[in-house]
A = this chain, B = another copy of it.
Amino acid sequence: LLGSSRVWYICYVSKLATIDVIQDGGVATPRGYFSGAAYAGLKKPGPDVLDLAVLYSEKPAAAAAVFTRSRIKAAPVILDMAVLRAGGKIRALAVNSGCANACTGPAGMASARATASALAKNLGIDPKEALVASTGVIGVQLPMDKIAAGLAKVALSRDSSHEFTRAIMTTDTRPKEIALEVKLGESRFILGGTAKGAGMIHPDMATMLCFITCDAAVEARFLQACLKRAVADSFNMITVDGDTSTNDTVLVLANGAARSPAIDAGSDLGGAFQDALNRVCLFLAKSVARDGEGATRMIEVQVKGARNLRDARVAARTIAGSPLVKTAVHGCDPNWGRIVAAAGRSGAEMEESKTDCFFGDMCLLRAGIPQEVDKNGASALLNLDTVRLGLDLHLGRGKATAWGCDLSEEYVVINSEYTT
């Protein structure tokens, strides 16, 4: 299900930790978390439509987050950044879909604050313990009467992870959620996570939200460092050319409800926690890439032999984001030159005479020389559910993997008709 984690950190060797998937798990699976969802009337009505979700932690949780690097940040992002900068613990989160609350000026900021206040009041907590997130159309104000009425309707429970996930979806065709149990010696803790987004390739639909919960007690600064590392090889590797939306958010909470020692940079459990967090992020990031708008296939681009890690990442991301690579894959056109050309313009160091190019294990270019290949066989490798494209630059030890999806006519159809 998960594939193997590709990321190993020398500083955190996880000693014999066992990491298992919990069937049907999600964001409220770790101990001490509750979730719920309601229909507030932000999305078009329909059977089973949900558009407002709440997450609650009985115990105040250490929190870490990464946000969009766009100069234009949505109001909920600005609010959450301020709340987290203050350094306190977090107990609750409200998320709405259908409206991004971005480019909404002072009124939008007031709405974000009012949402946090209403949430806090309903739960009897301090507004400084509440976060908010939004996703949907840019430039439209949040209808606060609907938000307030919706929040009042949300019933929290231990088994509503799926409802939470459904409520934050926009153009997603599939829910994206996971839970993992980590066992090391007597210690047991669980990570849960959910994400929405039809790809970072769609940067201005307030694209990507991801919420991860953990019932271990994780020290806040260590939690932030772990998240940053996990995101670098997962969510940031489905980014196209640095595209980030106005609302992109990856949040992790750790509430310490599990029977497990506290985790910090020096503890034995640190490696296992990092590994499990990497897996959660990687699974959710790949799920987002696979569910790209109009996508019929996932593209996995592996670059190795790059001069360094930065070069490997930029080359892999550029290939995965190239419209011409994406359309070639869509049409099963074995036009490998597009892969090499995308890497060539990526900024990564490259020498044509050293470069190998692969579809799966089939080598189409070796040391800069085009190889004789069976065109039908090559084409068939582009028709797999996961299309594997590879590049070996033979310049160093840098390697990275990026994920994207094919580009279909359906993408154009979806995005030509978004607000109208």
**A residues with CB within 8 A of B:** 68-73, 100, 102-105, 137-141, 201-205, 241-246, 322-324, 327-328, 330-338, 340-345, 347-353, 355, 364-365, 368-370, 375, 379, 407-409, 411-413, 415-420
CA distance A330 to B409 in the complex (A): 13
Mostly helix, strand, loop or mixed at chain A's interface?
A: loop
Q: Given A202-B324, A203-B345, A340-B103: A330 and B412 within 8 A (CB)?
A: yes
Q: Which of B102, B244, B331, B342 contacts A345 (CB 8 A)?
A: B244
B139–A344 contact, CB under 8 A?
Answer: no
* Nearest Cβ on chain B to A197's Cβ, whole angstroms: 14
Q: Given A344-B246, A365-B139: A418 and B333 within 8 A (CB)?
A: yes
* Nearest Cβ on chain B to A396's Cβ, whole angstroms: 14
Q: Report 28 cross-chain contacts, Cβ distance below 8 Å, ordered by A residue.
A: A71-B343, A71-B348, A71-B350, A72-B340, A72-B352, A100-B337, A103-B340, A105-B369, A137-B335, A139-B340, A141-B370, A202-B323, A203-B322, A203-B342, A203-B345, A204-B324, A204-B341, A244-B345, A246-B344, A327-B412, A327-B416, A331-B417, A331-B418, A334-B419, A334-B420, A407-B412, A409-B412, A409-B413
Q: Which of B102, B353, B411 contacts A337 (CB 8 A)?
A: B102
* Nearest Cβ on chain B to A268's Cβ, whole angstroms: 40
B324–A203 contact, CB under 8 A?
Answer: yes
CA distance A218 to B413 in the complex (A): 50
A103–B324 contact, CB under 8 A?
Answer: no
How many identical chains are in the complex? Answer: 2
Q: CB-CB < 8 A to A368: which residues of B? A: 103, 105
A324–B205 contact, CB under 8 A?
Answer: yes
Q: CB-CB < 8 A to A202: which residues of B? A: 323-324
Q: CB-CB < 8 A to A203: which residues of B? A: 322, 324, 341-342, 345
Which of A68, A138, A242, A345 counts the most chain B CB atoms within 10 A? A345
Q: CB-CB < 8 A to A323: which residues of B? A: 201-202, 323, 411, 415
* Nearest Cβ on chain B to A403's Cβ, whole angstroms: 17
A337–B201 contact, CB under 8 A?
Answer: no
Q: CB-CB < 8 A to A419: which residues of B? A: 333-335
CA distance A420 to B338 in the complex (A): 14
* Nearest Cβ on chain B to A413's Cβ, whole angstroms: 7
Q: CB-CB < 8 A to A204: which residues of B? A: 322, 324, 337-338, 341-342
CA distance A244 to B375 in the complex (A): 27
Q: CB-CB < 8 A to A379: which residues of B? A: 420
CA distance A302 to B376 in the complex (A): 46
CA distance A420 to B409 in the complex (A): 18
Q: Given A203-B341, A337-B138: A328 and B416 within 8 A (CB)?
A: yes
* Nearest Cβ on chain B to A203's Cβ, whole angstroms: 6
CA distance A365 to B108 in the complex (A): 14
* Nearest Cβ on chain B to A155's Cβ, whole angstroms: 33
B341–A246 contact, CB under 8 A?
Answer: yes
CA distance A71 to B241 in the complex (A): 17
